[in-house]
Structure 1
Amino acid sequence: MELKNKTVLVTGSTDGVGRVVAERLGAAGARVLVHG
Structure 2
Amino acid sequence: MMTGWISNLRRDTKGKQLLSNGAMMNAKAQNELN
Structure with higher RCO (Cα < 8 A, 6+ apart): 1
Q: TM-score range by the shorter chain?
A: 0.3 to 0.5
Q: TM-score, normalised by structure 2?
A: 0.40
Q: TM-score, normalised by structure 1?
A: 0.38
Instruction: Pick the structure with greater CA Rg.
Output: 2
